[in-house]
Amino acid sequence: MRTARLTATGRDPVVLVAHGSRDPRAAEATRALARAVAAVRPGVPVRPSWLDHTDPGPTEVLRDLAGAGHRRAVLVPLLLTAAYHRRVDIPAAVAAAGDGPDPLTVRVTEVLGPARGAVDAGLLDALGRRLAPAADFDALVLAAAGTRDAPARASVGRVAAALADRYAVPCRIAYASAGSPDVGRAVARMRAAGARRVAVSAYFLAPGFFHDAVTAAADAAGVVTVAAPLTDVPELVDLVLRRIDSTPE
């Protein structure tokens, strides 16, 4: 399996790779995003896949595309940080697909979260769409799944800083796992600093256990709103398309 170093032709099949969850709502959100991307690129195969819990995996999808006669593909990691899954799991899946009999050149794009130190404006637009029902807030908590990977945590911090700039309110990070503070403590700290109307922006692509836990904790803390996961909002679809069309290193 080779990694492409040229731009895609515009007709190459697209493989979307999500983390995966035991919650069936997460898989359906990924399928909905794949359908939305395919609707904008008629005639281009757009195939969802998952690293864990849900089939098919990216290796299987890549082998299927090669067996169908495709010679190139674009793989988009549906991840909000470039942590272990992007650095290790996805390259391993691409390499494993190379064990098949048919050659396939795969271009792996950047993740949907900050890339090369920059937060895509489309990501902020997508988060903003989910926050829109709560236009009146004086502080934000950006709730993320959590990671022990220091660069990944720093990238979440860049998103929080960008949201603070966009809305001209303080924005603090909270984690659903593998980090602190949790949402309840983050909201409490905002209140201690003088905030009265705290909103929670959900840094999640799909519903599932983490978003449910964040919602329950935020509701208990008395926030004005908890945003829904990004799923297939138009701004996220546009971001995926920009990743597909981007030129690799």
Looking at residue 248, what is its pLDDT? 57
Q: Chain-wide mean pLDDT for the chain? A: 91
Looking at residue 146, what is its pLDDT? 80
Q: Do domains 2-114+233-245 and 121-226 have the same CATH topology?
A: yes
Q: How confident is the model at residue 34 (pLDDT cuts 50, 70, 90)?
A: very high
Looking at residue 8, what is its pLDDT? 42
Looking at residue 58, what is its pLDDT? 97
Percent with pLDDT over 90 in the chain: 79
Burial of 40 (0-12, 13-18, 19+ CB in 10 A): middle
Looking at residue 102, what is its pLDDT? 74
Closest of 186, 180, 189, 210 to residue 200, by C-alpha:
186
Residue range 2-114+233-245 forms a domain whose CATH class is alpha beta
Q: Which of 35-44, 96-105, 175-184 has the highest mean pLDDT?
A: 35-44
pLDDT tens readout for residues 186-244: 999 999 999 999 999 999 999 999 999 999 999 999 999 999 999 999 999 999 999 99
- In the chain, the N- to C-terminal Cα span, in Å, equals 18
* Dihedral sign of CA atoms 119, 123, 124, 127 in order: negative
Looking at residue 6, what is its pLDDT? 36
- CATH architecture assigned to 121-226: 3-Layer(aba) Sandwich (3.40)
Strand order in the sheet with 2-3: 2-3, 105-108, 72-78, 14-18, 46-50
CA distance 217 to 222: 9
Torsion angles phi and psi, residue 248, rounded to 5: -70, 175
Percent with pLDDT over 70 in the chain: 93
Domains of the chain, by residue range, sit at 2-114+233-245, 121-226
CB of 113 closer than 8 Å to CB of 79: yes
Closest of 137, 187, 145, 133 to residue 167, by C-alpha:
137
